[in-house]
Chain A
């Protein structure tokens, strides 16, 4: 894991060296400034015959004064640049590892929360260098400089100061960790519990108000927050202690160095002039140590984030990529033969011994109550999951052995949950074919009954749809997903519950329109609503992962089976449309 963390940094060795070097020089310049200014006034106090004798410290003071600012500028510049480069590396690495796993291995991650936490983990790691590595490197390099500087007077002073720096640089963060680690994780849990209760209460506010429970909920939230605040207060005490100890050791090092140095002045081992230099050096050198408690805290956070990311990408891809490449877009039969499937071994089978054929050019509907296995079948036909027994053949070839890219060229899918990206309508549709002209796009939208509402958008096809297309209604998003599948212009098209957000009349129109457009191509229309299915060549009724019955609309109505039952229930419904508000 640590090796992976460093791998993000290692391509940028030059930038890394510059940033670290400049960081060291920034701290060193401050030591230089304070030490030379001390030396300057001490030498001046001896009243040399001419000012010229003070020329060196005067230049030194000015030099360090300017150098400090310039070095700081350079350090900030290089380290920010480096941070951005590292971030790009981490993103690319994570995406590269994640992409082969999608979507089969990522099903439990689909919830927005998990993915947002992934993004914030990546954001945490970008500062791994800036906040953890750099301060640690700088601290050690500055210690070396401090040792060298103090040894000019007496090596014991150097040793003593480095010892104090080490003890505070390691001891104080360790103490903070020991005192605050458990409390820290308690705070994290309490906070996320509070946040979850808040979200739950806001989402369920209608029910809370309707049952007059608002007082109770507000009180419960308030109590939970109070628990959190009490813990945070304790944590504040520990944080303050860290700062206080750091200040103490900072000045204590100066105190003890003087205590050692003054007898050395007495015996003539050190010049009295140098006492100011020693005191100032001791005071200034702590600048390198002060960021360390935070650096260690950050290190812990980075490791936690990295561990989280690793658990996600360490899974093995669930689909073997086939070798067979199918050139061109040939219209061929899709044959499903004795197909059985389960998501995990040990789980119940969601598809049981399923057999049917989509002949070239056939339009087939698959219906059934929710949980019948319709969507699982779409997952398999998208080559998102491997099947264990039975065969699925696309033309001559077994689906398992065909390259994923070829499968997607031959089978276009409008999935139930289609993602719209935060870009224009046009670019969202061009995802299916980057070279699609605006004419093609408009035609496809007309087929999907999406043209009317797109034309009403402020910038028509160039309108941005917002995050996950939130500027559009559910029904509008679905129609764009259908248009997208039509633009893909594949020999076989699959529409998975494409109309659940639409009213019955629009649904019927849509089905007819798509049905006419895809004349001569194969189509699978998956739905739980039995509207307009008269035009389909065959209707397959699924229940509990099996085919319950099949036939045309008329045949099925006469069979008096599940289809008839669903049909009758539907007759008793009126105007089921998407939610108004």
Chain B
């Protein structure tokens, strides 16, 4: 119920947390004072016939106690929330840093959504846990103790009732709480299942319509909703019994206290003022533990969220240390890149992404990677970018092993153009400048001109200051590619890594990209996942990959002559009239 890891986080704010509990205790003390003044006032007005005028002092004290109670309540609430906010902020910062250490390979696939919801909602759900549940754990033990201290001298019989009944509450809470917790978890799951189903139906509405099934779905929604209601209610019927038992325990305790006091008042063994004082404190005595009970659920949610958060924080990174602390000197005048016996396998797949790969790239050499899907082309790129580390084998820059710690420094040597470059929400200038924050406007426009982007950028409403949406919303695929190319010109690094776009771009973009790549590649080391014959023909060497291995390499003409996989890939597209068509094409099934 209490996450140890969370407590470690609280260390920094523990004095604030202690203060929160202290204020809670002060609130309890004021409540006792209030009960004291109130019982004295009623006692004197009721049994001693005192006039209002003689009670003025007590009334003033009572009002002061009331005001204090309100103010203390206000402060402790604010303080508790501040503690929670501080812990949340620090945890969220840690998570974000961690995600950048884990890198893009961790986030591939559908994970971004889940991770975002952990960082946003998951952390948010810690608030109740931190601000209410944790202080309440302390208060639910301390306030009853404090009340006991005041009740024992006044009325030890009631004190005994308190002492006997109090442990029953946490006992019952544990006993039925566990069961109730399971049930409420289940209820929560059914509810989210229902929502997920509804979302699924909404997303598939046009598909449903195409097959004339959309009207029918209305009945399905109603039927499923009712089914869920019935099953959920049958579990809730039982789950609510726990709440019933708890409620019964506290109300009956108050009732028993009242009856016992009443009997002893008749017997004359207790004075009314003490009796009323004790009666007023009875609800206050049980209140903290009851509050803990009501926050139990939120507390559990918080613990569950915390589990996921720490799971993420504990995710092993291949990059040791803080991202910021990566300061490694790299020989910028490197001559060779080596892959030596590199083996890599993605978790959860049975096949080797790279299988004992050996590869040397000389500085200034231009190398193309070709091969079917799953051949290992992207894996080579991701390894060389330092987005992940190989399972076995080494990647070296001359004699320096490309250790994870070196990755950030190494990336300064690389310009990487992914197949789908990401444009960030913001101005076009921001998106260009990220490649070289110190560049002048003139340099930026020069780069855009080289990439064939200057013209269409100027035609936009605010030119370079035009704000584009997430992922380049409002730009065509060809325009996004050209902006990414402009970034590459701005960075101007010795090694260029490119994953060529496969999409059908408009003819103008095709022409510009062709032209720009020519310029960009000059005097550079180039590694490209190539799809266009035009690009391949500019390369010094072509590596043909299949199932994680280099199965052939050499210049274009040699490879075609050998009639292997490379030749076959060329013929796949080519119709009867094509240059590379074989008389009897060998039928190879490429994995898709």
Q: Tell me if A198 and B120 are in contact (CB < 8 A).
A: yes
Cβ contact within 8 Å between B225 and A225: no
Does A195 lie at the interface of the complex (its beta carbon under 8 Å from any beta carbon of B)?
yes
Asked if B211 is at the interface (CB within 8 A of a chain A CB), the reply is yes
Does A346 reach chain B (CB closer than 8 Å)? no
Beta-carbon contact of B425 and A200 below 8 Å: yes
Chain A contacts for B34, CB-based, 8 A: 251
**Contact indicator A204/B251 (Cβ below 8 Å):** no
Asked whether, in the complex, the Cβ of B592 is within 8 Å of the Cβ of A577, the reply is: yes
Shortest CB–CB separation between residue B248 and chain A, in angstroms?
Answer: 4
Contacts of B196 in A (CB 8 A): 422, 467
Interface set, chain B 221-243, CB cutoff 8 A to A: 221-222, 225-226, 228-229, 232-233, 236-237, 240-241, 243
Q: Can you name 6 A-B residue pairings with CB atoms under 8 Å?
A: A30-B251, A36-B258, A68-B247, A102-B214, A226-B89, A506-B592
Give the residue of A92, A191, A276, A419 whose beta carbon is less than 8 angstroms from that of B221: A92
Interface residues of B, count at CB 8 A: 168
The answer to the question of B85 belonging to the interface, with a C-beta cut-off of 8 Å to chain A, is: yes
Chain A neighbourhood of B536, CB < 8 A: 574
A66 at the interface (CB under 8 A from B): yes
For A245, the closest partner residue in chain B by CB is B70
Tell me the bound Cα distance from A58 to B47 in angstroms: 21
CB < 8 Å neighbour of A431 from B211, B218, B272, B378: B211
Given A205-B107, A210-B416, A44:B506 Cβ within 8 A:
no
In the complex, A72 has a CB within 8 A of chain B: yes
A66-116 contacts to B, CB under 8 A, are 66, 68-70, 72-73, 76-77, 80-81, 84-85, 87-88, 91-92, 95-96, 98-99, 102-103, 106, 112, 115-116
A470 within 8 A of B: yes
On whether the beta carbons of B243 and A119 are closer than 8 Å, the reply is no
Q: How far is the CA of A488 from the CA of B262 in the complex (A)?
A: 81
Please judge, given known A-B contacts A195-B116, A232-B85, A431-B207, whether A81 and B202 are in contact too, CB under 8 Å: no
Please measure, in the bound complex, the distance between the C-alpha atom of A580 and the C-alpha atom of B371, giving whole angstroms: 11
Q: Is the CB of A45 within 8 A of B112?
A: no
**Across the interface, do B385 and A210 meet the contact criterion of CB distance under 8 Å?**
yes
- Cβ of A575 and Cβ of B74 under 8 Å apart? no
Report the Cα distance A217→B42, complex, angstroms: 65
A458 within 8 A of B: no
Decide: A70 near B225, CB < 8 A? Known: A103-B206, A241-B74, A571-B573: no
Determine the chain A residues whose CB is within 8 A of the CB of B372 once the complex forms. 503, 575, 577
User: Assuming the A-B contacts A58-B259, A61-B255, A72-B244, are A112 and B107 also in contact, with contact meaning beta carbons closer than 8 angstroms in the complex?
Assistant: no
A214 to B382 CA separation, bound complex (whole angstroms)? 17
Q: In the complex where A95-B201, A419-B203 touch, is A265 in contact with B532 (Cβ < 8 A)? A: no
A367 vs chain B, min Cβ distance (A):
10
Once the chains are docked, how many angstroms separate the CA of A262 from the CA of B67?
A: 21
Contacts of A408 in B (CB 8 A): 209-212
B66: which of A200, A251, A275 is its contact (CB, 8 Å)? A251
- Check if B391 is an interface residue, CB within 8 A of chain A: no
User: Chain A: interface residue count, which band?
Assistant: 35 or more
Question: Is B99 positioned at the interface, with any CB of A under 8 Å from its CB?
Answer: yes
Cβ contacts under 8 Å, B206 to chain A: 102-103, 106, 384, 415, 419
State whether the Cβ of A561 lies closer than 8 Å to any Cβ in chain B. no
Instruction: Tell me the nearest residue of chain A to B417, going by C-beta.
Output: A210
Q: In the complex, A413 Cα to B228 Cα: how many Å?
A: 34
Residues of A within 8 A of B55 (CB): 262
**Closest chain A residue, CB of each to CB of B529:** A580
Residue A179, interface by CB 8 Å: no
Q: Are B573 and A252 touching (Cβ within 8 A)?
A: no
**A572 pairs with B203, CB closer than 8 A:** no
Q: With A42-B272, A69-B248, A574-B533 known to touch, is A421 a contact of B204 (CB < 8 Å)?
A: yes
Contact pick for B577, options A247, A248, A419, A557, CB 8 Å? A557
Q: How far is the CA of A420 from the CA of B204 in the complex (A)?
A: 7
Q: In the complex the two chains form, is B241's CB within 8 Å of A243's CB?
A: no
Interface centre among A38, A206, A420, A529 (most CB of B within 10 A): A206
- Judging by beta carbons under 8 Å apart, are B74 and A243 in contact? yes
In this assembly, does A203 line the interface, its C-beta being within 8 Å of a C-beta of chain B?
yes
On chain A, the residues within 8 Å of B73 by CB distance are 240, 243-244, 247
Contact with B along A39-72 (1 / 0, CB 8 A): 0111111011001001001100110111011101
Residues 183-222 of chain A, each 1 if its beta carbon lies under 8 Å from chain B, else 0: 0000000010011111111111111111111111110011
Shortest Cβ distance from B116 into A: residue: A199
A252 to B92, CA, bound (A): 42
Taking the complex as formed, is B8 at the interface, i.e. its CB lies under 8 A from any CB of chain A?
no
Specify which chain B residues have a CB less than 8 angstroms from the CB of A198 in the assembled complex: 96, 116, 119-120
* Given the contacts A61-B255, A251-B66, A575 and B371 also touching, CB distance less than 8 Å: yes
With a cutoff of 8 Å between Cβ atoms, the chain B residues found around residue A84 in the complex are: 225, 228-229, 232-233
Among A91, A195, A275, point to the contact of B198 (Cβ < 8 A).
A91
Chain B residue nearest to A48 (CB atoms) is: B266
Docked Cα-Cα span, A123 to B272, in Å, equals 52
How far, in Å, is A493 (CB) from chain B's closest CB? 12
Known contacts A221-B96, A505-B590; A96/B218 CB under 8 A = yes
A244/B70 in contact, CB under 8 A: yes
Interface residues of B in 264-283 (CB under 8 A from A): 265-266, 268, 272, 275-276, 279, 283
Given A88-B226, A279-B38, A237 contacting B247 (CB threshold 8 A):
no
Within 8 Å CB of B347, what residues of A? none
The winner among B34, B201, B255 for most chain A CB atoms within 10 A is B255
> Contacts of B477 on A, CB cut-off 8 Å?
370
**How long is the Cα–Cα vector from A91 to B423 in the complex, in angstroms?**
37
Residues from chain B with a CB closer than 8 A to the CB of A502 are 592
Residue of A nearest to B205 (CB): A102
Residues of B near A297 (CB, < 8 A) are none
A37 within 8 A of B: yes
Q: Is the CB of A51 within 8 A of B502?
A: no
A21 within 8 A of B: no
Q: For A404, what are the chain B residues with a Cβ–Cβ distance below 8 Å? A: 209, 212
**A residues within 8 A CB of B175?**
none
Q: Are B244 and A69 in contact (CB under 8 A)?
A: yes
Asked whether any CB of chain B lies closer than 8 Å to the CB of A432, the reply is yes
Q: How far is the CB of B193 from chain A (nearest CB, A)?
A: 10
Nearest chain B CB to A141 CB, angstrom units: 21
CB distance from B299 to the nearest CB of A (A): 19
Is B146 in the interface zone, CB < 8 Å from A? no
A66 touches B243 (CB 8 A): no
Flag if A73 contacts B240 (CB, 8 Å).
Answer: yes
Q: Is the CB of A45 within 8 A of B272?
A: yes
Q: Is B418 positioned at the interface, with any CB of A under 8 Å from its CB? A: yes
Query: Are A119 and B199 in touch, CB under 8 angstroms?
Result: yes
Are A215 and B502 interface neighbours, CB within 8 A?
no
B45 touches A41 (CB 8 A): no
Residue of A nearest to B106 (CB): A205
**Chain A positions within 8 Å of B164 at CB level:** none
Taking a contact as CB atoms closer than 8 A, the residue among B51, B195, B422 that contacts A206 in the complex is B422
B 63-82 contacts with A by CB, 8 A: 63, 66-67, 69-71, 73-78, 81-82
In the complex, are the beta carbons of B251 and A66 less than 8 A apart?
yes
Shortest Cβ distance from residue A383 to the other chain B in the assembled complex, whole angstroms: 9
A145 within 8 A of B: no
A239–B89 CB distance below 8 A: no
Q: Cα distance A233–B84 when bound, in Å?
A: 10
Residues of A contacting B423 in the complex (Cβ-Cβ under 8 angstroms): 204
Asked if B440 lies at the interface with its beta carbon under 8 angstroms from chain A, I say no
Tell me the smallest distance from the CB of A145 to a CB of chain B, in Å. Answer: 18
Cα(A33)–Cα(B195), bound, Å: 41
Q: A72-B247, A272-B45 are in contact. Are A77 and B240 (CB under 8 A)?
A: yes
B211 touches A569 (CB 8 A): no
Do residues B248 and A205 form an inter-chain contact, with CB atoms below 8 A?
no
Q: Is there an interface contact between A259 and B226, defined as CB atoms closer than 8 Å?
A: no
Interface centre among B206, B259, B421, B589 (most CB of A within 10 A): B206
A residues less than 8 Å from B42 (CB atoms): 258, 275-276, 279
Assess whether B312 is interfacial by the CB under 8 Å rule: no
**Which of chain B's residues have a CB closer than 8 A to the CB of A263?**
51-52
Question: Smallest CB–CB gap between A97 and chain B, Å?
Answer: 11
CA distance A369 to B505 in the complex (A): 8
